[in-house]
Amino acid sequence: MRIGIMDSGIGGITVLREALKLLPNEDYLYFADTENVPYGEKTKPEVMRLVCEAVDFIVGQGVKAVLVACNTATYAAIESIRAKYSIPVVGMEPAVKPAVERSRNGAHKRVLVTATPMTIKEEKLHNLIARSDSEEIVDLLPLPGLVRFAERYCFDENEVLPYLKERLSAYNGADYEAVVLGCTHFIFYKDMFRRLFPPETEIIDGNLGTVRNLKRILTEKSLLNGGSGDVVFYSSGVKVEDAAILGGYKKLFERLDDIM
């Protein structure tokens, strides 16, 4: 049986890449809700409905586990999904804790958490920060434009860097020990974040930790292995067979290989 991975769009490809590396002997179903992307600028009830509908479809295909590869979708709907299904359901959360721990040991004190507007508004994120950040060193920055760039497959520095520079203009990069990429779409721009912060600033995301958690759960439930790394792609419930779209996904993997 396959592992289902869902996202509002192409951001979860960054998580799929980690899964294929860490769990190569699994098969995958990747669901991109392309008809409704982006999630991060919608209301919580809207996102909850869309995520539940997506996961209903994914589970209907006979998967053995679901990974919600979207921080916004996780915060909106993960509890409802887990209550409905008996199979493992794994979600994402911004890597605040490791970033704060790094800042305590570093020369600079602050941590910048970037995410979608909805994630930044969510009480769950603020509770996560409160548990990790006793010294109040975390700053929050919404970057909705990066999701829109990614969904257009726009990785042109001439377009993206001016947006990032404008959004970061109020922050002194030298003050930050770590920058958290709290949206899976943002990882496609990791190289640009590196250019805008000092070399010693770590750019952190939660993908590997999430996939390690998935592996741990599958191991505990004796659900590991049984595949060859095969991936089927769905776009809002329709199987993707168009060669151009599949070729676009291949280029996304190639970009990640180049920048990571």
Task: Provide the annotated active-site residues.
Answer: 70, 183
What one-character DSSP code corresponds to residue 167?
H
Neighbours of 78 (CB within 10 A): 21
**Segment 199-204 long-range contacts (CB within 8 Å, at least 24 positions apart):** 200/106, 200/107, 200/108, 201/108, 201/173, 201/176, 201/177, 202/99, 202/102, 202/177, 202/178, 203/178, 203/179, 204/95, 204/98, 204/99, 204/102, 204/178, 204/179, 204/180
Structure tokens at 122: 């969510």
